[in-house]
Structure 1
Amino acid sequence: MRELKSLAEFETLKNSGKTIFFFTADWCGDCVFIKPLMPEIENEHADFTFVQVDRDEFIDLCGDLAIFGIPSFVAFENGIETGRFVNKDRKTKEEVTQFINTL
């Protein structure tokens, strides 16, 4: 999974096809729980580009997008938000897959 490097890259990616941003942090236990499952989720949903966003590095972006809990997922298609799975709860592979399937 690629990692977000800049706000300019965020703008480019959110406007380029189907992208899911995965908001996370190294210190977040629930994020550490889901991270090993992300490659499987990515492989099962190859029509999306997955981008990991470090919550601490991009705290202002998180505020702008109302990401107040992690791990969280926000999906865009060609610049339009198509869905969000945003809360502070632990997420299972099944829950993330169910979210993606609703997009």
Structure 2
Amino acid sequence: MNGALTRYRVIAWIVGVMLLLLTLVAMPMKYFGDNNLGVVIIAPVHGWLYVVYLAAVGDLARRVQWPVTRILLVALAGTVPFLSFVMERRTVAWIQGTDRQPSFTEA
């Protein structure tokens, strides 16, 4: 399971950085600078990396037997800027058992 957690953590950070680049650099370049090169390059890369992120979430969820609501929350975190970083930390706490805060995703 440690390998699955490590893979998830790495791809969560990569997807998070790519999404920040897309929303904070490429999109402003497109709409304010009339230059869509950043979107043309970054958007498809982020899209494919998000698919890898979903596979990592699925693999980790299968190994730790998460409820569906938790799987969906973690999966959607890759689509909201900054949320993948927050969810990555939360996921590590869930896996390591250091999360003492009650969550509505508990089964």
Same fold (TM over 0.5): no
Structure possessing the higher radius of gyration over alpha carbons: 2
Calculate the TM-score normalised by the size of structure 1.
Answer: 0.28
Q: Identify the structure with the greater helix proportion.
A: 2
Larger fraction in strand = 1
Q: Could you state the TM-score of these two structures normalised by the residue count of structure 2?
A: 0.27
